[in-house]
């Protein structure tokens, strides 16, 4: 595999132990995928930040890497952790647990990360079509490739960490034109009206992910546009939950042309959508969790505004967003409204059962998929319907 002079020096340890380790791993992966060379990345996003998921082993690895002089050579953001770093007392955890999460955050900060602790870097970072990235949160990867037209593989957290230090990724997979072309069509023209009227884009995503597996699908007839960020987030996150793919070409949204039409066409009817939705019929929920992926400023503001207008919700509502949005919208009013606005974490990577309930309702196909697999009882319902149910007498 070709390495330029500077990359060779990095690999040989001239820039320190951490850079050499990062390069060894990136080069090894590049060789496995038969990449001809590496590509410089503009930005990295690292998952595997929650103490709940990575435990002491992960924490020690990150501290060790920072102590070895590990420094990110490109702007790097990080995924949510296990707790809200301000409101952790409301999350059923003790101080020693929070200490561990803070040590993880500290290690990332020493390595130069912007400690954003959100899974929606695409809402905040300056990412353009054609940019090469090393991202490792599936919903973010899918948004970057499918909506923005940037290029990243669906990396695991540890690989993105090494790529962030090396500033390079293997030139393989979705970094290359030939792997960004669709190999099947998923056609929603028979069900798009039903999906739009009932707000079921999450359900559409669960279906697409399962059909696509690791292939890039071309989604036709869904009726979404580039401006429909809320729906696109829910749709793509759900694709990433049931499928391994890192990209969906969405007719009317994706900036890239699909090229030759694939022969395989799957038509999705109203009955298919209903059948998928019926898998998440959990009843008797006693908390509502919204924000997988993290809610944007506009989404949080409009949910708060809804309850201010219609009155206090009948069950507790948990909202998850970025620190930036939470600090703009948090107020004493929310407590009175039975709304809990959390940042730095989410319903999947925190211990939801400890502070909310093991019986929840959500509008997120991805959260429904992961929480159900952890043994929670989950009802999947469109956001509009949930909000209405919460204020009905």
| Interface contacts to ligand SF4, rule CB under 6 A | 79-80, 119, 139, 237, 292-294, 320, 346, 348-349, 366-367
Output the smallest distance, CB 242 to ligand SF4, in A.
Answer: 14
Selected binder of ligand PMV within 10, 18, 44, 49 (CB under 6 A): 49
Residues 6+ apart with CB under 8 A from 226: 147, 252, 253
- Tokens linked to 155: 């990396």
Express the helix, strand and coil content of the chain in percent, nearest 5 each: 45, 15, 40
| Smaller CB separation from ligand SF4, 38 or 356 | 356
Count of residues in the chain: 393
The torsion angles phi and psi of 316, rounded to 5 degrees, stand at -65, 145
| Whole-angstrom distance, CA of residue 227 vs CA of residue 99 | 40
Q: Which residue is nearest to ligand PMV (CB)?
A: 47
| Smaller CB separation from ligand SF4, 288 or 292 | 292
Q: Nearest CA to 234 among 211, 206, 201, 207?
A: 201
Q: Which does 45 bind (CB under 5 to 8 A by kind): ligand PMV, ligand SF4, none?
A: none
| Whole-angstrom distance, CA of residue 381 vs CA of residue 362 | 6
Q: Nearest CA to 137 among 72, 199, 67, 46?
A: 46
Confirm or reject binding of residue 240 to ligand PMV (CB under 6 A).
yes
Output the smallest distance, CB 139 to ligand SF4, in A.
Answer: 4
Q: Which does 285 bind (CB under 5 to 8 A by kind): ligand PMV, ligand SF4, none?
A: none
| Whole-angstrom distance, CA of residue 282 vs CA of residue 375 | 11
Output the smallest distance, CB 361 to ligand SF4, in A.
Answer: 15
Confirm or reject binding of residue 157 to ligand PMV (CB under 6 A).
yes
Output the smallest distance, CB 294 to ligand SF4, in A.
Answer: 6
| Smaller CB separation from ligand SF4, 220 or 366 | 366
Q: Which does 294 bind (CB under 5 to 8 A by kind): ligand SF4, ligand PMV, none?
A: ligand SF4
Confirm or reject binding of residue 245 to ligand PMV (CB under 6 A).
no
| Whole-angstrom distance, CA of residue 51 vs CA of residue 54 | 5
- Tokens linked to 53: 């998921």
Q: Per-residue x/- mask for ligand PMV, residues 117 to 156, rule CB under 6 A?
A: --x-----------------xx------------------
Selected binder of ligand PMV within 47, 321, 350, 357 (CB under 6 A): 47
E strand residue ranges, the chain:
38-40, 43-46, 76-78, 133-135, 168-170, 184-187, 217-220, 249-250, 265-267, 287-295, 316-321, 339-343, 359-362, 377-380
Tell which positions 84-123 bind ligand PMV, by CB under 6 A.
119
| Smaller CB separation from ligand PMV, 47 or 357 | 47
Tally of helices (H runs) and strands (E runs) in the chain:
16, 14
Confirm or reject binding of residue 291 to ligand PMV (CB under 6 A).
no
Part in contact with ligand PMV (CB under 6 A); list of ranges 48-56, 59-67, 266-274, 329-337: 48-56
Selected binder of ligand PMV within 11, 41, 48, 165 (CB under 6 A): 48
Part in contact with ligand PMV (CB under 6 A); list of ranges 44-52, 142-150, 164-172, 186-194: 44-52
Q: How many residues bind ligand PMV (CB under 6 A)?
A: 14
Confirm or reject binding of residue 53 to ligand PMV (CB under 6 A).
yes
| Smaller CB separation from ligand SF4, 119 or 253 | 119
Dihedral sign from CA coordinates of 371, 210, 204, 176: positive
| Residue showing tokens 């597996």 | 213
| Smaller CB separation from ligand PMV, 55 or 129 | 55
CB 206 within 8 A of CB 276: yes
């Amino acid at each position: 595999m070709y390495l330029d002079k500077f990359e060779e020096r990095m690999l040989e340890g001239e820039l320190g132990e951490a850079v050499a380790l990062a390069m060894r791993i990136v080069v090894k992966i590049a060789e496995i995928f038969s990449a001809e060379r590496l590509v410089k990345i503009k930005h990295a996003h690292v998952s595997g930040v929650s103490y709940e998921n990575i435990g002491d082993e992960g924490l020690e690895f990150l501290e060790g890497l920072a102590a070895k002089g590990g420094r990110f050579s490109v702007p790097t953001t990080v995924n949510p952790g296990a707790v809200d770093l301000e409101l952790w007392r409301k999350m059923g955890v003790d101080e020693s647990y929070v200490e561990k999460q803070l040590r993880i955050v500290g290690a990332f900060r020493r390595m130069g990360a912007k400690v954003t602790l959100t899974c929606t870097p695409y809402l905040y970072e300056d990412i353009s079509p054609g940019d090469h990235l090393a991202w490792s949160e599936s919903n973010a990867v899918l948004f970057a490739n499918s909506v923005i037209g940037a290029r990243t593989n669906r990396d695991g957290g540890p690989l993105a960490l090494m790529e962030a230090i090396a500033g390079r990724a293997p030139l393989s997979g979705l970094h290359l034109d030939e792997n960004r072309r669709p190999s099947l069509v998923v056609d929603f023209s028979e069900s798009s009206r039903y999906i739009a009227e009932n707000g079921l884009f999450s359900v559409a995503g669960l279906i697409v992910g399962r059909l696509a597996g690791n292939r890039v699908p071309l989604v036709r007839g869904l009726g979404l546009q580039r401006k429909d960020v809320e729906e696109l987030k829910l749709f793509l996150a759900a694709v990433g939950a049931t499928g391994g793919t890192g990209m969906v070409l969405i007719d009317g949204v994706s900036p890239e042309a699909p090229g030759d039409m694939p022969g395989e066409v799957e038509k999705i009817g109203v009955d298919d959508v209903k059948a998928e939705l019926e898998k998440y019929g959990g009843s008797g929920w006693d908390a509502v969790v919204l924000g997988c992926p993290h809610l944007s400023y506009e989404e949080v503001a409009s949910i708060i505004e809804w309850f201010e207008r219609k009155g206090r919700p009948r069950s507790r509502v948990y909202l998850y967003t970025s620190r930036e949005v939470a600090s703009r919208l948090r107020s004493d009013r929310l407590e009175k409204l039975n709304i809990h606005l959390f940042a730095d974490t989410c319903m999947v990577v925190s211990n939801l059962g400890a502070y909310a309930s093991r019986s929840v309702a959500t509008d997120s196909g991805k959260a429904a998929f992961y929480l159900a697999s952890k043994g929670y009882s989950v009802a999947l319902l469109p956001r509009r319907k949930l909000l209405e149910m919460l204020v009905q007498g």
